[in-house]
């Protein structure tokens, strides 16, 4: 078990290094002089030279790279060009808002999709199944940047039930969470249905029924439990999509999280802050995948020996 954990953590280190390298190279992808691009065409040569020196762009590339990596390890990602705020501090200050939104979206998705997938599998080929399949196909196809405004039109503008933007109460969380969780719910419902159908064909389900277990017990206690691993896998794999989705959802609903900070920083060409946001989101994604992998090893011993 320990060997599996150590090997899996060891494999993550080159990935983290690669992610950091990519984020470091972003600033060097800027066409022309990055300092000039950040300050604009009208900036004086002195200002450009000062910024170049402040960002360390006048140093050899290897030096810049090593100091970026060192800084990233220490949690020092530089300072915002616009507000002079510490980048790591600015990102961490917005973390609770993004985490709240991401978890609410995932909870909404799981809470809606799992019962829907179970119902579609149990009553396969009936109207319930068709409705569930249609809902999940629509959920995959409807972009969250359309669903969000549509929900706002209905529930905020027409009915006046929920606030259209901002953060504070649970009411503020409903529309962003539903709009962000919809596509995950659609994928999860399809996955739950497909895996549960496979399990329902297994002889142990018929055996449970033969022993006198009710249909609900055979489905929920036996078949559903065994179909959970692929479902949990999808939840973990889709976490990246949820994280990226927060960028759009936070922009639509003026939610003060990391995603909105990223888009605002792009608008202001505040590249240290852009790098910080992207590095943080990517690292979180890698960490979540690692935790999910370690959990599979714990739940299913076969994975450890693969």
Partner 1 sequence: MTRVGALIVFVAALAALAGPLLVGVDPAAQDLAQRLDGPSWAHWFGLDELGRDIFSRVLAGARISLIVGVVVVSVSSAAGTLVGSVAGYFGGHVDEAISRIIDILLAFPGLLLAIAVVAVLGPSLTNVVFALSLIGWVGYARLVRGQVLRAREFEFVQAARALGATTPRILIRHVIPTALPAVMVQATLGLGGAILSEASLSFLGLGVQPPTPSWGTMLNAGRTHLLDAPHLTIFPGLAIAVLVLGFNFLGDGLRDALDPATRRQAT
Residues that bind partner 1 (CB under 8 A): 14-16, 18-19, 22-23, 26-27, 29-31, 137-138, 140-143, 145-146, 149-150, 152-153, 157, 164, 194, 197-198, 240-241, 243-244, 247-248, 251-252, 262-263, 266-267, 271, 274, 278, 281-282, 285-286, 289
Smallest separation, CB 34 to partner 1 (Å): 8
> Which CB, 56 or 149, lies closer to partner 1?
149
> How many C-alpha atoms does 207 have within 13 Å on its Cβ side?
6
> Which CB, 213 or 268, lies closer to partner 1?
268
Smallest separation, CB 252 to partner 1 (Å): 7
Q: Partners of 79 in the beta sheet?
A: 86
> Which CB, 48 or 164, lies closer to partner 1?
164
Close Cβ partners of 52 (under 8 Å, ≥ 6 residues apart): 33, 34, 35, 58
> Which CB, 233 or 251, lies closer to partner 1?
251
> Which CB, 26 or 213, lies closer to partner 1?
26
Task: Give me the torsion for CA of 122, 126, 128, 129, rounded to 10°.
Answer: 70
Both tokens of 164, joined, read 């259209």
Three-state DSSP at 229 gives helix
> Which CB, 112 or 155, lies closer to partner 1?
155
Taking a C-beta distance cutoff of 8 angstroms, is the pair 219, 206 a contact? no
Rounded to whole angstroms, the maximal C-alpha distance in the chain is 84
Cα angle at 82 between 80 and 87, to 5 degrees?
Answer: 15
Smallest separation, CB 24 to partner 1 (Å): 12
Smallest separation, CB 211 to partner 1 (Å): 27
> Which CB, 166 or 301, lies closer to partner 1?
166
Taking a C-beta distance cutoff of 8 angstroms, is the pair 255, 301 a contact? no
Both tokens of 294, joined, read 């370690």
Smallest separation, CB 294 to partner 1 (Å): 16
Burial class of 172 by CB neighbour count within 10 A (0 to 12, 13 to 18, 19+): buried
Smallest separation, CB 138 to partner 1 (Å): 7
Say which residue the tokens 């961490």 belong to: 92
Smallest separation, CB 258 to partner 1 (Å): 11
């Amino acid at each position: 078990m320990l060997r599996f954990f150590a090997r899996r953590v060891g494999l993550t280190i080159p990935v983290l290094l690669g992610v950091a390298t990519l984020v470091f190279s972003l600033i060097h992808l800027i066409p022309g002089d990055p300092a000039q691009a950040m300050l604009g065409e009208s900036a004086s040569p002195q200002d450009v030279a000062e910024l170049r020196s402040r960002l360390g762009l006048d140093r050899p590339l290897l030096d810049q790279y090593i100091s970026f990596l060192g800084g990233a390890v220490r949690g020092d990602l530089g300072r915002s060009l616009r507000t002079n705020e510490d980048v790591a501090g600015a990102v961490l200050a917005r973390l609770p808002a993004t985490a709240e939104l991401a978890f609410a979206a995932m909870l909404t998705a799981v809470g809606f999709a799992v019962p829907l997938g179970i119902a579609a599998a149990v009553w396969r080929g009936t109207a319930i199944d068709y409705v569930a399949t249609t809902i999940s196909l629509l959920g995959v196809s409807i972009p969250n940047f359309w669903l969000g405004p549509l929900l706002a039109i209905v529930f905020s503008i027409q009915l006046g039930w929920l606030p259209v933007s901002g953060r504070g109460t649970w009411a503020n969380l409903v529309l962003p969470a539903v709009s962000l969780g919809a596509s995950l719910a659609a994928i999860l419902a399809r996955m739950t249905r497909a895996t549960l159908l496979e399990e329902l064909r297994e002889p142990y389900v018929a055996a449970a029924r033969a022993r006198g277990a009710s249909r609900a017990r055979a489905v929920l206690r036996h078949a559903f439990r065994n179909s959970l691993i692929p479902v949990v896998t999808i939840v973990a794999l889709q976490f990246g999509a949820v994280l990226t989705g927060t960028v759009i959802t936070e922009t639509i609903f003026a939610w003060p999280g990391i995603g909105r900070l990223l888009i605002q920083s792009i608008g202001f060409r505040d590249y240290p802050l852009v790098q910080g946001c992207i590095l943080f989101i990517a690292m979180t994604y890698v960490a979540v995948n690692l935790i999910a992998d370690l959990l599979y090893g714990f739940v299913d011993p076969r994975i450890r020996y693969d």
